[in-house]
Chain A
Amino acid sequence: MITLKEALTDIGRYVQLMGRVLTQPDRWRMFFQQYITEMFQLGYNSIGIVLIISFFIGAVICLQIKLNIQSPWMPEMVVGYTTREIMLLEFSSSIMCLILAGKVGSNIASELGTMRITQQIDALDIMGVNSANYLILPKVAGLMTIIPILVTFSVASGIIGAFCTTFLGTTTIHELLVGFHYEFNQWFFWCGIIKAIVYAFIISSVSSYKGYTVEGGSVEVGKASTDAVVLSSILILFADIFLTQILT
């Protein structure tokens, strides 16, 4: 069990690390190269999983609403309306980011942890490179750029999934379309994007912190990777409460 002193020490070290990360890069050209690489590695490679999960969740939400909520007292379009609200407000931003915390967070922590134990980070420091800035800033910036795009894909994929349930006879395409358009508030889409940007910062910075500060060997890298996912997920859930309260 982590003590209060350890928790405060961790917070202090995290803030110190972010102080080193959020500075001007030594070479902008190198930063942009890394930024593009990280967007590709962390985001582009996650598009498949985002589309698949969102597609099926969109379809399942639609089916569940139809089976459990629909009644003669409810209009048909409630299925499309509810599916849209769930996808926009929670699933595509918060739940998708929880899933990405597992995939991307462990990737970041294990990559940086391995660099630490194989002295690659020491090599950067001795060269006079701000290793925290060089390694972490492109990950943070890259993820904060790509995750909102993934959220948009997720919403689209979920809605396509919902449409596909019409082939099972749950509802009609027309009713779904009516539901999707019913009292559409564009701000809810931006809420999802804002949430995603905050979560992207949490995932990338917390996982980077866990990986960058590894001491020991492969066991510690594995532990850092697990801790990164657990801590990112908890922080995302906490942030979700506050952001939901503030934004909606």
Chain B
Amino acid sequence: MIRIEHLYKSFEDRDVLKDINATFENGKVNLIIGQSGSGKTVLMKNIVGLFTPDKGKILYDDRDFVSMSKREKIMLRREMGMIFQSAALFDSMTVLDNVMFPLNMFSHKNYEERVRRAKECLARVNLAGTENKFPKELSGGMQKRVAIARAISLEPKYLFCDEPNSGLDPKTSIVIDELIQGITHEMGITTIVNTHDMNSVMGIGESIIFICKGKIEWNGSNKEIMDAQNPQLEDFIFASDILRQVKEAHEASRDNG
């Protein structure tokens, strides 16, 4: 479980995050949603330690990441896996080497065991047989799946996904979402997904926080989002005509019992 307490972050004179309090639970896909510029990426970067907050606590199972020593932070980072918006695969390495990289750096397994574990992870994301390809030879969706395989190779406790569906077609996005959800449930890990993809919100949003102008304006689940009485959230979620019609249909069916 990851808990954020009274987190503040500003850049020069601009307050980007203001008094953020949130809890991200184990075995659930936790979404951070919000418009571009709302502060969700800054929040994610604070959580993973790419930024240092001005004030507040980030508790990984009650271990405060902000006040940890450099060495403790490095050790904690080995319990994290991250999937970047751009996949961030090492383009000089093959798919197998990419997935093996964390194992090569941190595991004490022998070479055969490391290869076996990497192949297991690739099979889990349905990419068996691509071991010797280079990232540039793969499609965007396949690159994201390799990134997932790399992120889970060390069996992390915490998985972070920064806009994992960015640049993917809707069908591939659903495949990625299902993979993330499946892995979260199987491994019982704490997963945080930063997204503004409405399919993800409706599909895998077991726990959602909505950020607007650096503040948490709403939290709940995808089941509750249809009935949320928050004008800013409604503006964001139901911005398109189709989704507005879905909401109206939902309200009509609710009113009719």
Taking CB as reference atom, which chain A residue is nearest B74? Answer: A128
In the complex, chain B residues whose CB is within 8 Å of the CB of A5: none
A215 lies within 8 A of chain B by Cβ: no
With a CB–CB cut-off of 8 A, which chain B residues contact A129? 105
Complex partner residue of A119 from B73, B80, B85, B106, CB under 8 angstroms: B85
| A119 and B77 form a contact (CB under 8 A) | no
Partner of A122, one of B84, B91, B101, B104: B84
B133 in the interface, Cβ–Cβ < 8 Å? no
Contacts of A123 in B (CB 8 A): 82, 84, 88, 90
The B interface, classified by DSSP as helix, strand, loop or mixed, is: mixed
* Closest residue of A by beta carbon distance from B82: A126
Contacts of B101 in A (CB 8 A): 127
Judging by beta carbons under 8 Å apart, are B105 and A119 in contact?
Answer: no
A122 to B50, CA, bound (A): 8
- Among B75, B86, B102, B105, residue most surrounded by chain A Cβ atoms (within 10 Å): B105
Nearest neighbor of A130 in chain B, beta-carbon distance:
B74
Query: In the complex, what distance in Å separates the CA atom of A232 from the CA atom of B120?
Result: 46
Asked whether, in the complex, the Cβ of B88 is within 8 Å of the Cβ of A128, the reply is no
CB neighbours of B225 from chain A (8 A): none
- Partner of B86 from the list A119, A125, A130 (CB cut-off 8 Å) is A119
Q: Does the CB pair A128–B106 fall under 8 Å?
A: yes
Q: Which residues of B contact A30 (CB under 8 A)?
A: 104-105
Q: Check B75 against A128 for contact (C-beta < 8 Å).
A: yes
Residue of B50, B73, B105 near A127 (CB, 8 A) is B105
Is A70 part of the binding interface, using a Cβ–Cβ cutoff of 8 Å?
no
Selected from B77, B104, B106, the residue in CB contact (under 8 A) with A126 is B77
Pairwise interchain contact A119-B88, C-beta atoms closer than 8 A: yes
Beta-carbon contact of B105 and A27 below 8 Å: yes
A111-137 residues with Cβ-Cβ distance < 8 A to B are 118-120, 122-123, 125-130
A26 on the B face (CB < 8 A):
yes
- Other than the given A119-B85, A128-B76, 12 more pairs (CB < 8 A) read A30-B105, A118-B91, A120-B89, A123-B82, A123-B90, A126-B49, A126-B80, A127-B77, A127-B102, A127-B106, A128-B74, A129-B105
The 7 sampled A-B contact pairs (Cβ below 8 Å) are A120-B89, A120-B90, A120-B91, A126-B48, A127-B82, A127-B101, A128-B80
